[in-house]
């Protein structure tokens, strides 16, 4: 039997000693019958709310409400854009617990009556987003429940196992729910501070001077914990007209990473409430509760037949191949020039590049011919004729090429001074003694010291030929430029 407002006012004197209450009236807070509540006025004109558990089931909830409100310190409340009830006093325990909080004056809207469009729905979504943005430390510090995504998933799986054990859930529904549990992407979410299932009837609204509604307070903090934000949006299954606007308001006010499957999990939690109601009736041995839950589950099964909570949009390979084969080939119209045409193509620049490459090839052939002269001396004299190298026109063929002979021994006395002259077409010199110069060999293994003096080539002669070849190459490059 529910307590009368007068009994509640009398009980409040134990929580607020010395306070005089002048009036008391019943207060409906949409607490699903868990609490007996009254709105009581004090002799100083304040209005306070007095609550007591309606039964054994309500006692833990009222204790959790008191604990959560104490966890919301002044610093935490400052982070919220609306008011939160403040505990004024409490006494007793269990079913005799009395909790007195201040009253937040405003109006509330049942989910089924929540209209779509701007105004109410976006404001409620923004209020829920503000709760989810609170630091999780306020929950951990006070020892309130903290659940990760994996733990939330395991809790849902255990509930399904218990509901399935009753034998009263259709196979189609069980397959639908278990299939959702197996979708890994559905359970990749970031845990947040949640109310644990508050609805629009827990949010107090008021209109400003222009008639625009805004949230001024939020009630029902008994489920304060860290968990899945979708749990606070499951009630939208009862407000289908306003669901999109609530979600839009929630997304606009939130600063969290987008959750692409937030709606799907909220829908799953709403459906699992029927399974939870069935398990409660079954465990309590209440046949009427079980019958009510079974009727709700059967209606749900008919309404979602052939549907999935997480739509499967993935195509298999066969579907992909069939799609490709169904696309007709694209024929190129006849007479269309498909050759490359681009502004980067310059025929004149390309011809210059080809000419330069041709000149470089000619210079390489000239250098190869010079190297061939080194390994094939004149058959008659054994001398190497450097004038076989192709030369540019600017070089005087009759000029005498200077040769640095520092470090070499004097020529033998038997030779005339004239023989020491260097001919422009023939260069011979006396090689140093083996003691003065390391022993060198040609490619055939013959020592240079053992060869005739007039067939030995000095490194300086090699340098002369290389210089001429380089001059030839530079001349060609200069012409091509």
Is residue 82 within 8 A of residue 130, CB to CB? The reply is: yes
Over residues 349-403, the pLDDT tens digits come to 556 656 666 767 777 777 677 666 555 555 455 554 444 445 555 555 555 555 5
- Specify the higher pLDDT residue, 430 or 284: 284
Cβ partners under 8 Å of residue 379, min gap 6: none
* Structure tokens belonging to residue 309: 């909570």
Residue 292 has pLDDT above 90, yes or no: yes
Residue 329 has pLDDT above 80, yes or no: no
Greatest CA span in the chain, whole angstroms? 149
State the average pLDDT over residues 59-70.
Answer: 94
Q: Which helix or strand (DSSP H or E) is residue 58 part of? A: helix 58-71
- Which pLDDT score, from 0 to 100, does residue 415 have? 46
Question: What count of other Cβ atoms lies within 10 Å of the Cβ of residue 473?
Answer: 18
State the average pLDDT over residues 250-268.
Answer: 91
- Which pLDDT score, from 0 to 100, does residue 481 have? 46
State the average pLDDT over residues 467-481.
Answer: 57
Q: Which residues of 253-284 are buried (b: 16+ CB within 10 A; e: fewer)?
A: bbeeeebebbbbbbbbbbbbbbbebbbebbee
State the average pLDDT over residues 451-475.
Answer: 60
Cβ partners under 8 Å of residue 86, min gap 6: 69, 101, 102
Over residues 268-286, the pLDDT tens digits come to 999 999 999 999 999 999 9
- Which pLDDT score, from 0 to 100, does residue 289 have? 95
- How far apart are alpha carbons 275 and 296 in whole angstroms? 9
Q: How confident is the model at residue 315 (pLDDT cuts 50, 70, 90)?
A: very low
State the average pLDDT over residues 198-209.
Answer: 91
Is residue 114 within 8 A of residue 200, CB to CB? The reply is: yes
Residue 454 has pLDDT above 90, yes or no: no
- How far apart are alpha carbons 1 and 178 in whole angstroms? 41
Strand partners, 225: 194
Phi, psi angle pair for 163, to nearest 5°:
-65, -40
Strand partners, 25: 39
User: Which letter does DSSP use for residue 307 in this model?
Assistant: -
- Which pLDDT score, from 0 to 100, does residue 27 have? 86
Residue at token pair 């021994």: 409
- Which pLDDT score, from 0 to 100, does residue 357 have? 67
Q: How confident is the model at residue 470 (pLDDT cuts 50, 70, 90)?
A: low
State the average pLDDT over residues 314-342.
Answer: 50
Closest to 152 (Cα-Cα) out of 196, 202, 89, 211 = 196
Correct CATH for 5-161+190-263 of 3.30.200.20, 3.40.50.970, 3.20.19.10, 3.90.110.10 = 3.30.200.20
- Which pLDDT score, from 0 to 100, does residue 313 have? 60
Is residue 172 within 8 A of residue 305, CB to CB? The reply is: yes
- For the ranges 187-196, 250-259, 310-319, the lowest mean pLDDT is seen at 310-319
Q: Please provide the size of the chain in residues.
A: 481
State the average pLDDT over residues 160-175.
Answer: 96
Residue 298 has pLDDT above 90, yes or no: yes
Strand partners, 51: 37, 99
What does the DSSP assignment read for 121-147? HHHHHHHHHHHHTS-THHHHHTT--B-
Residue 213 has pLDDT above 80, yes or no: yes
Cβ partners under 8 Å of residue 186, min gap 6: 180, 261, 264, 265, 268, 309, 310
- Which pLDDT score, from 0 to 100, does residue 316 have? 45
Residue 429 has pLDDT above 50, yes or no: no
Highest mean pLDDT among 306-310, 407-411, 429-433: 306-310
Residue 348 has pLDDT above 70, yes or no: no
Average pLDDT value for the chain: 79
Residue 448 has pLDDT above 60, yes or no: no
- Which pLDDT score, from 0 to 100, does residue 325 have? 55
Give the CA radius of gyration of the chain.
Answer: 49
- Specify the higher pLDDT residue, 288 or 445: 288
- Specify the higher pLDDT residue, 441 or 257: 257
Residue 468 has pLDDT above 50, yes or no: yes
Closest to 198 (Cα-Cα) out of 128, 278, 250, 134 = 128
Closest to 138 (Cα-Cα) out of 233, 224, 240, 10 = 224
- How far apart are alpha carbons 463 and 394 in whole angstroms? 20
* Structure tokens belonging to residue 257: 């990473």
- For the ranges 67-76, 190-199, 251-260, the lowest mean pLDDT is seen at 251-260
- Which pLDDT score, from 0 to 100, does residue 2 have? 79
- How far apart are alpha carbons 349 and 194 in whole angstroms? 71
Residue 320 has pLDDT above 50, yes or no: no
- For the ranges 41-45, 103-107, 131-135, 441-445, the lowest mean pLDDT is seen at 441-445
State the average pLDDT over residues 416-421.
Answer: 45
- The three-class DSSP label of residue 370 is helix
What does the DSSP assignment read for 464-477? HHHHHHHHHHHHHH
Q: Which helix or strand (DSSP H or E) is residue 216 part of? A: strand 213-218
């Amino acid at each position: 039997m529910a307590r009368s407002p007068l009994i509640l006012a009398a009980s409040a004197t134990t929580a607020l000693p010395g306070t005089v209450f002048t009036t008391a009236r019943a207060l409906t807070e949409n607490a699903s019958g868990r609490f007996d509540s009254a709105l009581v006025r004090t002799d100083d004109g304040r209005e306070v709310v007095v609550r007591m558990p309606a039964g054994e089931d309500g006692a833990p909830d009222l204790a959790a409400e008191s604990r959560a409100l104490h966890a919301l310190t002044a610093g935490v409340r400052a982070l919220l854009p609306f008011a939160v009830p403040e505990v004024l006093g409490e006494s007793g325990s269990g079913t005799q617990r009395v909790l007195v909080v201040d009253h937040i004056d405003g109006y509330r809207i049942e989910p089924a009556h929540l209209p779509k469009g701007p105004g109410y729905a976006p404001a409620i979504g923004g209020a829920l987003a503000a709760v989810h943005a609170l630091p999780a430390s306020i929950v951990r510090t006070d020892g309130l429940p903290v659940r990760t995504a994996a733990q939330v998933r395991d809790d849902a799986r255990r509930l399904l196992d218990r509901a399935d054990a009753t034998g009263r859930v259709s196979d189609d529904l069980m397959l639908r729910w278990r299939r959702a549990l197996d979708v890994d992407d559905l359970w990749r979410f970031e845990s947040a501070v949640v109310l644990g299932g508050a609805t629009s009837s827990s949010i107090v609204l008021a209109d400003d001077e222009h008639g625009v509604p805004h949230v001024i307070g939020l009630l029902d903090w008994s489920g304060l914990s860290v968990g899945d934000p979708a749990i606070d949006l499951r009630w939208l299954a009862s407000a289908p007209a306003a669901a999109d606007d609530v979600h839009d308001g929630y997304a606009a006010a939130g600063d969290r990473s987008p959750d692409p499957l937030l709606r799907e999990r909220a829908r799953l939690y709403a459906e699992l409430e029927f399974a939870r109601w069935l398990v409660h009736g079954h465990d309590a041995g209440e046949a009427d509760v079980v019958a009510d839950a079974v009727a709700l589950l059967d209606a749900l099964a008919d309404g979602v037949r052939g549907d999935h909570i997480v739509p499967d949009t993935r195509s298999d390979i066969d579907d992909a191949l069939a799609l490709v084969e169904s696309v007709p080939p694209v024929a190129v119209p006849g007479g269309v020039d498909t050759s490359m045409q681009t502004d980067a193509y310059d025929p004149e620049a390309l011809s210059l590049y080809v000419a330069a490459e041709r000149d470089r090839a000619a210079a390489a052939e000239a250098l190869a011919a010079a190297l061939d002269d080194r390994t094939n001396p004149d058959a008659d004299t054994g001398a190497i004729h450097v004038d076989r190298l192709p030369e540019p026109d600017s070089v005087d063929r009759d000029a005498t090429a200077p040769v640095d002979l520092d470090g070499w021994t004097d020529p033998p006395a038997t030779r005339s001074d004239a023989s020491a002259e260097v001919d422009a077409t023939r260069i011979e010199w006396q090689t140093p003694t083996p003691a003065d110069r390391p022993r060198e060999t040609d490619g055939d293994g013959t020592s240079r010291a053992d060869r005739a003096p007039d067939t030995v080539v000095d490194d300086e002669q090699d340098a002369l030929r290389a210089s001429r070849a380089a001059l030839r190459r530079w001349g060609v490059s200069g012409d091509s430029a």
